[in-house]
Structure 1
Amino acid sequence: MSRLLLCRRSLVRVLAFLAIAFSPLVALAQAQWPMTVTDAVGRQVTIPAPPKAVLLGTGFNLVALSLIHPDPVSLLAGWSGDMKADNPEIYESYLRKFPKLADVPLIDDGSGPGLSFETILTLKADLAVLANWQADTEAGRRAMEYLESTGVPVIVVDFNNEVLKNTPDNMRLLGKVFEREEQAEDFARFYEERLARIRERVAGSSEPGPKVLMEAFPAPDRCCWAYGAGGLGEFIAITGSRNIAEGALPRPGGMMNAEAVMAENPDVYIATSSPGGKYSGFSIGPGVTAEEAETTLTESVDKPVMASIAAVRNGRVHGLWNFFNAVPLNIVAAEAFASWLRPDLFPDVDPAATLAEINRRFAAVPFEGSYWISLKK
């Protein structure tokens, strides 16, 4: 009996020690909630408890969550159908991994102008995540006011405006809100290390990069909606190259007529589009083969204005998935630009290897398909 009593006393001491040792950690975890964060547009938002029923204002933000959470669909109370409408191949890949995605209610029709208040009323959400471009619209502002009036906090994230600066910080924001800080920090550092490599090499070169035209969704009957300095246009500037639309068009971009393009005579041409060529004859992105991307890009530059510029004559024609401007995978796009525009500075940069590492280390659902392409000379 005395030996049994001794064992019990020892066990009590061990348990007491563990309780003392871990009590600060428990207190720290409890102290995080309610949590106040600063979102992408500088708003102070207080979230009362760990979110478990989230509304996504754009379906593309499921990609961001999937880079830090093993089952992002388990967090959703509702989401937008825009990713499903614009890039059904990505939706299908998530659906195969997470069949419950099919049961998540849609809070809009996928067109993106606003949210259905009637649908939101039926959902017991504890957080909404909107994109910056939604927060900038009248419909978005009304949705934010409505959600907050019903006790649902709203945070805004930004993966398409000043992306080089904003992407790592927005991943850290999501990591904090969803208690995945370690995973978010790993991805943010992964992003920043590759970005620093590009900046440092360009800064060390005295040679300027080429003149570039980047056209969104090329069509045979018009020329040309060109990216300006914003969004994916930032990846031209970071390589030390000159975007021929910068200064001539608003920051997001706009229409540039054929005469202006021919007068600038760009050295490099980059087209952006989506799978199946929904808005253009050019097809590229998730679920697209390299052969399809190359064939449709070849057809897209087969028009008089393109045949006349140096980029096409010299075989410096490239294509890119347009929706890199909506997801934190855009570091892959930055590396593609570096290898296309400054091959002398970046012979060892391999965006395919970077995407493979993202798939291996971070992605809950692997990203497969042809996201960038170069025409053979």
Structure 2
Amino acid sequence: MPTFPETNVIQSLRRLATATLAMSALGLGLAAPSLGHAEPRTFTDVIGREVTADLPAKRVVLGFYFEDYMAIGGEKAFDHVVGLSREAWVGKVPANWAMHLAHRPSLAEIPDVGEIDAQTFSVEKVLALQPDLVVLADWQYKALGLDAQRIETAGIPVAVVDYNAQTVERHVASTHVLGAVTGEEARADEIAGFYEGALKDVADRIAASGQPKPKVYMEFGNKGPSEPSFTYGKNMWGAMATAAGGDNVAAPFVEWWGVINPEQVLAAQPDAIFISGRENNANPTALAMGQGVGSDQAHETLKAFEGRPGWSGLPAIRDGRLFGVYQGASRTLSDFAMVQFIAKQLYPAAFADVDPVANYLGYYAKYLPVTPQGTFAIGVQK
């Protein structure tokens, strides 16, 4: 892929940011408070619940979406984070955690309240921290069930946000909620407008191409070539493939995420296949992608997927259209770049002037205090 100068990337980011639709301070009908003074405010979270809290919040327990919280609130927002569901960061993207920890060692001092997926989340630890507000992902709130009600019954409001849905609507709404929580409404407006503009640009380019939708198969490559792993329907990579103009072949079989019969992939004859990978793979044959992963390692582990039974006859494999993407760059504001990458592989002429990886790094340069170094999107053909 071509490399564009960083100055052009930042200019592109700023140009897209100016495409923001006119909106109120939050799109929630609220006036922006002074950053130094918290006052009771009522807002609507992404699942339609009215939440009343003292904002900007001074003591926050944060369950997920750590980089999004920092991008929107600025690094100083973590001065007010008094509890983390740490395993949701360390366990899912450990190299990303290490990158942030090297920049901000005080992250290690924030108390851990446990992780919901691992069934270690502790309501008692949350209550002991006496937070003003708990911020949870939609999936976390649903998984906690009555425990979430226990937190609220104790007088601690819970705000729900959702980037997992991978819709522009929920990304934008979540960004405005986090803007209210951190007192950074103007910054939230800018980032939400940028994201909305970036996805609109993708849609406009696809519409102008006049090209029929290519068939796409997405899979989490954590089990390696020998065993199919999760594919995606309506959310995460499935929603991103759809936003990128792909016809997701798993959608008829999987509503959200899950494994489908390998024969269904063969019967669908996908035109392009995207495997998502991460850094912390217990399986040495899993796709390696992300922070600290070299391109040679990523390419080697990706190429092995070509050898799956029956895949040699698929159009995607015959035409060299097997690609690797970074799992950690989904369900986050920076995922616009992964949508761009998928769209560029499906509609190369329409995206000839777009460098998704440079735009991904440009987002970090503008909104986050760290600089990722690794492999975040790659093709099987070097």
TM-score range, shorter chain: 0.7 to 0.9
User: After the TM superposition, which residues 90-101 of structure 1 pair with which residues of structure 2 at under 5 Å, given as runs?
Assistant: 90-101=96-107
Counterpart among 234, 245, 269 of residue 265 in structure 1: 269
**Alignment correspondent of 2:88:** 82
- SS of 2:344's partner is helix
> What is the distance in 2 between the residues matched to 1:28 and 1:184?
14
1:229 counterpart = 2:229: no
CA deviations on 1:113-143 (whole Å, 9 max, x unpaired) are 4621232232121110000111222xx1223
Between the aligned partners of 1:236 and 1:300, the Cα distance in structure 2 is: 19
Matching of residue 161 in structure 1 with residue 190 in structure 2: no
- 2:195 and 2:338 map into 1 onto residues whose CA distance is 12
Q: Deviations over 1:294-339 (max 9, x none)?
A: 1111123322232231211210010111233332211111111111
- With over 3 angstroms needed to count, the CA separation of the structure-2 counterparts of 1:292 and 1:31, relative to structure 1, is closer
Which protein, 1 or 2, shows the higher relative CO under an 8 Å CA cutoff with sep ≥ 6? 2
Q: 2:11 aligns to what? A: none
Pair 260,275 (structure 1): closer, same or farther in 2 beyond 3 Å = same
- Contact persistence 2:116–2:140 (CA under 8 A): no
Q: Report the equivalent of 1:194.
A: 198
Equivalent position to 1:358, from 352, 363, 368: 363
- 1:178 and 2:189 aligned: no
The DSSP-based 3-state class of the residue aligned with 1:146 is helix
CA-CA distance at 1:79 after TM superposition: 0.5
Q: Which residue in the other structure is 2:131 paired with? A: 125
Q: 5+ residue gaps in structure 2?
A: 1-30
User: Aligned residue for 1:14?
Assistant: none
Residue 206 of structure 1 pairs with residue 210 of structure 2: yes
Match of 2:8 in 1: none
Q: Return the offset for 1:146.
A: 1.5
Query: Number of residues paired by the alignment?
Result: 347
Change (3 A) 1:54 1:308: same
| Paired residues of 1:83 and 1:110 also in contact (CA < 8 A) | no
Q: Identity across aligned pairs (percent)?
A: 29
Aligned ranges for residues 238-277 of structure 1 at < 5 Å? 238-247=243-252, 249-277=253-281
Letter in 1 for 2:315: A
Counterpart selection for 2:343 from 327, 338, 341: 338
Letter aligned with residue 187 of structure 2: Q
Residue in 2 that maps onto 1:284: 289
Aligned counterpart for 1:325 among listed residues 306, 327, 330: 330
Alpha-carbon RMSD: 2.3
Contact 1:84 1:110 in 2 (8 A): no
Looking at structure 1, the residues matched to 76 and 96 of structure 2 have their Cα atoms a distance apart, in angstroms, of 16
Alignment TM-score, normalising by the size of structure 2: 0.85
Preserved CA contact (<8 Å) 1:318 1:374:
yes
- What is residue 115 of structure 1 aligned with on the other side? 121
1:271 aligned partner, one-letter code: I
Deviations 1:264-323 (A, max 9, x none): 111111101211434661111122122211111112332223223121121001011123
* Mapped partners of 1:257, 1:250: distance in 2: 11
Q: How far has the Cα of 1:212 moved from its partner?
A: 0.9
Which residue is 1:52 aligned to? 58
CA distance in 2, matches of 1:262, 1:184: 43
Gaps of 5+ in 1: 1-25
Given the superposition, is the C-alpha separation of residues 208 and 114 from structure 1 closer, same or farther in structure 2, using an over 3 Å criterion?
farther
Matched, 1:347 2:352: yes
In structure 2, the residue corresponding to 1:190 is in which secondary structure?
helix
TM-score (norm 1): 0.86
Secondary structure at the counterpart of residue 298 of structure 2: helix
CA offsets per residue over residues 83-119 of structure 1, 9 Å max, x none? 1012111111111111111111110157444621232
Once residues 127 and 156 of structure 2 are traced to their aligned partners in structure 1, the CA distance between those partners, rounded to angstroms, is: 11
Give the C-alpha shift of residue 32 in structure 1: 7.5
- Amino acid of the residue matched to residue 78 of structure 2? V
Q: Determine the structure 1 residue equivalent to 2:26.
A: none
Distance 2:378 2:205 in 1: 23
Q: Which residue number corresponds to residue 9 of structure 1?
A: none
Q: Secondary structure at the match of 2:361?
A: helix
From the superposition, tell whether residues 110 and 136 of structure 1 become closer, same or farther in structure 2 (CA, over 3 Å).
closer
Q: Against the structure 1 CA distance between its residues 132 and 274, is the aligned structure 2 distance closer, same or farther, given a 3 Å change threshold?
A: same
Whether the 8 Å contact between 2:33 and 2:183 is mirrored in structure 1 is no
